[in-house]
Amino acid sequence: MQFRRHALRAGMAALVAAGLGGCALGPDFKTPAAPTAAGDSYTPTPLASTTASSPGAAGGAQQFVAGQDIPAQWWTVFRSPALDQLIRGALAQNPNMAAAEASLRQAQESYNAQAGSLVYPSVNGQLGVARQKTAATGGNQGGVFNLYNASVNVAYTPDVFGSTRRTLEGAQAQVDYQRFQVEATYLTLSANVVTTAIREASLRAQLKATREVLDALNQQLGVIDKQFQLGAVPRNTLLSQRNQAAQIAATLPPLEKALAQSRHQLSVLAGKLPSEAGMPEFALESLTLPDTLPVSLPSALVRQRPDIRASEEQLHAASAAIGVATAAQYPQFTLSGSYGSSAQTFSKLFDAETTAWNLAAGLTAPIFNGGALSAKKRAAEAAYDVAAAQYRATVLNAFQNVADSLRALDSDAAALKAQAEAESLAAESLALATQQYKLGGISYLSLLDAQRSYQQAHVALVQAQAARYADTAALFQALGGGWWNRAGGVPAATAVSAAAPYGSAK
């Protein structure tokens, strides 16, 4: 009996080892090569190494540093403790972030379930007892007796042609896809908080600028009203001033509405209800414009952008699916064995005369299926072509994002310089027009034109200042956000690869 037990175990171990040593059909996945950019540039014509500078807030020149790495908490370049605290809270409480992390855990456990059911033999124990009566036939008297059964059953499907390996390779790719989806959610959430805070600061500054202009108009309106009461100016002059003030006042409610909506959006991004208190307020003066900006090399961008890495893993899964479809066209082997005992009394279980065992092997080979298996393989190959095209589209969009951000930084710095000059000239013109009007040198319509020009230039200056902060945030987001420099974060999911029975084909 001991010999039989050892023979059973040795036989099953040999068959399992034979199954593990098979080949894996289908293509071995290779990471797509990074696109080659002419002159390591994102734009058709190289940009200047430094942006334009201008006097006043947000007017400092910014220098582009090629190849400089990106900090994990990239938003700290704005040097705003309130912004840093808000983002940390949002990353901990935002439901979209929690959903992405839960999806990663789900993918990991799905991989573990597949690995457990496909890689290892299934071993089941069975124990039963029955009481039965047999009929008397011929010389058999029949009677009532108990029957005890105990057995261990082992079944295994050797992975001779790599179907299991390709299946697990695809499952691992799905785990990595979800891991990069977590990083994409992390980046999108932090960038949304930054841009919304900048929008709030811009709207707050626009409101302040508009109210300053409106206060000046109302002061002039008071003077003109007194002049009208004394008969010094006609009624149409008073009405023109009132109309100008009313038009400026009409721009306040939309700005106030937009500011309130930005505040509501910040609350939701932080995982809070809009009615909850304690949200910080942001102003352009509380943010610092960084004087140096990293510009990753084009060859490094494809490894930094989480959306590109996620798309790559979808391509990897599609490659593994071709291997699964290819292996399905080949024979499938099955191995099984059992060892047990059957006795009429419990005490005789596993006695030599009551034990039984068996070893079995089977082969199932497709002979005719109407071309279904070949069609499935061609469908898997087409799905790979789809994933490859989507990967290329993701890469192209990523390079466009960086190119757009770099151009915006350069152009908006020049625009701010021009707008600062325009605002300065408009303020000087308004002061001169006001003095000339008091002396009777110009008509009131000329004064209104000067007031209107200054108001437009003043608000446009604030918008141009805010654009430089928004452009800076857009560049960090376009370059991937520095998630690879974050210690102890979600990327620990790569441990799944190390624990996998089969390594990926990368």
Residue 157 within any structural domain of the chain: no
Give yes or no for residue 59 having a pLDDT over 50: yes
Residue 352 within any structural domain of the chain: no
Residue 241 within any structural domain of the chain: yes
Highest mean pLDDT among 38-52, 208-222, 416-430: 416-430
List the structure tokens of 256.
């106030």
In 156-251, which residue ranges form alpha helices assigned H by DSSP?
163-229, 235-250
CATH number at 384 reads 1.20.1600.10
Q: In the structure, what pLDDT confidence band is assigned to residue 443 with cuts at 50, 70 and 90?
A: confident
List the structure tokens of 206.
């626009």
> What CA–CA distance (Å, rounded) separates 422 from 414?
12
Q: Looking at residues 8-14, what average pLDDT do you find?
A: 43
Give yes or no for residue 1 having a pLDDT over 60: no
Q: In the structure, what pLDDT confidence band is assigned to residue 39 with cuts at 50, 70 and 90?
A: low
Residue 133 within any structural domain of the chain: no
- Is 208 exposed, middle or buried, given 0-12, 13-18 or 19+ CB atoms closer than 10 A? middle
Mean pLDDT for all residues in the chain: 86
Beta-bridge mates of residue 360: 336
Structural domain boundaries, residue 450? 25-121+170-336+375-499
Give yes or no for residue 54 having a pLDDT over 60: yes
Give yes or no for residue 496 having a pLDDT over 50: no
Residue 370 within any structural domain of the chain: no
Q: Residue 294 corresponds to which amino acid?
A: P
Residue whose structure tokens are 């509380």: 286
Q: In the chain, how many domains are there?
A: 1
- Which letter, b or e, does each residue of 157-191 get, where b requires 16 or more Cβ atoms within 10 Å of its Cβ? bbbbbbbbbbbbbbbbbbbbbbbbbbbbbbbbbbb
User: Which pLDDT score, from 0 to 100, does residue 493 have?
Assistant: 34
Residue 3 within any structural domain of the chain: no
Q: Strand, helix or coil at 175?
A: helix
Digit-coded pLDDT (tens) for 106-120: 999 999 998 888 888
CA dihedral (168, 169, 174, 178) positive or negative? positive
Q: Looking at residues 267-280, what average pLDDT do you find?
A: 92
Residue 252 within any structural domain of the chain: yes
Write down how long the chain is. 506
Q: Which helix (H) or strand (E) holds 362?
A: strand 355-364
User: Which pLDDT score, from 0 to 100, does residue 490 have?
Assistant: 46
Residue 18 within any structural domain of the chain: no
Which residue has better confidence, 445 or 15? 445
Which whole-number Å values give the CA distances from 415 to 97, 155, 420, in the listed order?
37, 73, 8
* Residue 183: closest CA among 481, 415, 496: 481
Digit-coded pLDDT (tens) for 331-354: 988 888 888 888 778 777 777 788
User: Which pLDDT score, from 0 to 100, does residue 22 have?
Assistant: 55
The pTM of the full predicted model, rounded to 2 decimals, is 0.84
* Residue 107: closest CA among 173, 165, 162: 173
H helix and E strand count, the chain: 11, 6
